[in-house]
Amino acid sequence: MQQKMKKYLVLSILFILPITAYIFFSLSTNYFKPLPVLTKNVAELDGFTTLDGKPVQLEDHITILGFFGRDLEAHRAYAYNLAHKIYTKNHSFREFQFVILLPEGTQSQARNVEQKLAEIAPTDSWLFAFGSDDKITSVFHSLQSNITIDSGFSTPYVFIIDKERNLRGRDDDKDHGIMYGFDSSQIAEINNKMSDDVKVLLAEYRRALKKYGSSREI
């Protein structure tokens, strides 16, 4: 009798396990949760130019957007933290970019920091972009976040912007509730929460490409 019970138990497990696995993977595919949109229509970067004098834009790019202010040298740790924890893992994606907005006149500081960043990873997708104080303020306010920028146009927080110029973030974070941005001075926050959210957004676009049968990579 005991032997018979064992036989039925084994057969039940062999029958149930594949069904359970199927349901699990089916749910994960059909109910993939995208990264929430917190603000739509973030201002385009009209009038900003890179160190090479080229225009830069948010449209059609997955962008990590930052504002590191007039004293970039004092805030270079923000850039190094992001380079180590986020940029090195994702810079090879064609449509992924870092854009750090800086006031005009900070180009020499940016060149110095860029040289240091190049020791961590190629800086092809890391852009320092320069514009007027008014333009920086306009872009920052268009994020419609609960984060402030100081008088030198700096904040340690960086923002995830999708290809349609929407601000993505968290609307139910267990520690902060709504997270419009991520504090780049905090290694734990960018290494865990921000890194995870970037992965989610990249996966979202990969799924979209696969859905429409595109072989193109982001």
- At 18 the three-state DSSP class reads helix
Radius of gyration of the chain measured on its C-alpha atoms: 22
- At 207 the three-state DSSP class reads helix
The secondary structure of 130-164, three-state, reads EECHHHHHHHHHHCCCCCCCCCCCEEEEEEEECCC
CA 105 to mean position of chain CA atoms = 27
When the pLDDT of each residue in the chain is averaged and rounded to a whole number, the result is: 87
Under the banding of pLDDT at 50, 70 and 90, the label for residue 5 is low
What whole-number distance in Å separates Cα of residue 39 and Cα of residue 144? 7
> What's the pLDDT at 217?
53
Structure-block tokens of residue 17: 């396990």
What whole-number distance in Å separates Cα of residue 1 and Cα of residue 6? 9
> What's the pLDDT at 28?
41
What whole-number distance in Å separates Cα of residue 190 and Cα of residue 111? 24
What whole-number distance in Å separates Cα of residue 67 and Cα of residue 158? 7
Quick one: 37-211 is in which CATH superfamily?
Glutaredoxin (3.40.30.10)
CA 54 to mean position of chain CA atoms = 23
What whole-number distance in Å separates Cα of residue 94 and Cα of residue 115? 22
- Residues 6 or more apart from 113 whose CB is under 8 A from it? 72, 73, 76, 79, 128
**Which of 96-100, 133-137, 176-180, 212-216 is predicted with the least confidence, judged by mean pLDDT?**
212-216
Sequence spans of domains, the chain: 1-31, 37-211
Residue with the larger pLDDT of the pair 180 and 4: 180
- At 125 the three-state DSSP class reads coil
Residue with the larger pLDDT of the pair 120 and 17: 120
> What's the pLDDT at 208?
72
Percent of the chain with pLDDT over 90: 77
pLDDT, tens digit, for every residue of 184-199?
999 999 999 999 999 9
**Which of 10-14, 91-95, 108-112, 160-164 is predicted with the least confidence, judged by mean pLDDT?**
10-14
pLDDT, tens digit, for every residue of 40-73?
999 999 999 999 999 999 999 999 999 999 999 9
What whole-number distance in Å separates Cα of residue 166 and Cα of residue 43? 9
What whole-number distance in Å separates Cα of residue 82 and Cα of residue 185? 9
What whole-number distance in Å separates Cα of residue 183 and Cα of residue 179? 10
Global pTM exceeds 0.85: no
